[in-house]
Amino acid sequence: MSVATLVIVGAPMPQGRPRHRIVKSYGKAPFGVVYDPPGCKKEKQRIHTIVKNLMREKGYVMFAEHVPLRLDIIFYVPIPTGFSKVKRTKANMALIVPAVKPDLDNYAKLVLDACCGVLYHDDNSVTDLNIKKRYSNHPGTKIQAQPLFEEAPILRQPQRELQLKQNSKIKRQKCLAADAKVW
């Protein structure tokens, strides 16, 4: 089974609450608009760009549209500066975990939304999700994505090009065979 592993450096950020406002325009009825907080929007764009570059570097391509996916995400949050030396050591060994705000699901929402259109077409294809929040001296996010079933591998770019060449060669042979039958 193929696994795409991506590591995003930098402290993870949770998805903020959506903002609402009423837009009033001259001569038209007012209407409501819902939007992401500015910090979340920038962080989504940053993660989207990083994932896109990592996918290109590692030779991964986006998972097919209706392939059920399993994602394992680990959020490494910075160790609080108020921790003692003993507590820091325990936090690094995962003996102390961050059971504090922000909530784990808010971290996951931001990453799932940011990976849309790069790692997968839409986050509705994520059917299994395993998420963890841990302390670390090196904050970041580790994402492992894989198809739920083995018949949908993630292809590396050279393999994909080879597969396309083979498919076009087979199509040409079929067309020539069909033309030979007609004549």
Per-residue pLDDT at 167: 57
Q: Which residues pair with 125 in a beta bridge?
A: none
Answer yes or no: is pLDDT of 155 > 60. no
CA-wise closest residue to 115 among 60, 56, 17, 45: 45
The verdict on 54 and 64 lying in the same domain is yes
Tokens of 63: 């998972």
Answer yes or no: is pLDDT of 95 > 60. yes
Give the separation between CA 133 and CA 6, rounded to whole angstroms.
16
Q: What is the pTM of this model?
A: 0.76
Mean pLDDT of all residues belonging to the chain = 84
Answer yes or no: is pLDDT of 22 > 60. yes
C-alpha distances in Å from residue 97, one per residue of 77, 78, 85, 94, 139: 10, 11, 16, 6, 14
The verdict on 75 and 98 lying in the same domain is yes
Q: What is the mean pLDDT of residues 141-147?
A: 95
The verdict on 97 and 65 lying in the same domain is yes
The verdict on 103 and 175 lying in the same domain is no
| Helix residue ranges, H only, 10-134 | 38-58, 85-92, 104-114
Contact present, 32 and 20 (Cβ < 8 Å): yes
Domain extent at residue 42:
4-152
Lowest mean pLDDT among 5-9, 31-35, 96-100, 174-178: 174-178
Answer yes or no: is pLDDT of 64 > 90. no
Per-residue pLDDT at 49: 95
CATH of the domain at 14: 3.30.1330.70
pLDDT tens digits for 69-84?
999 999 999 999 999 9
CA dihedral sign of residues 84, 88, 91, 93: negative
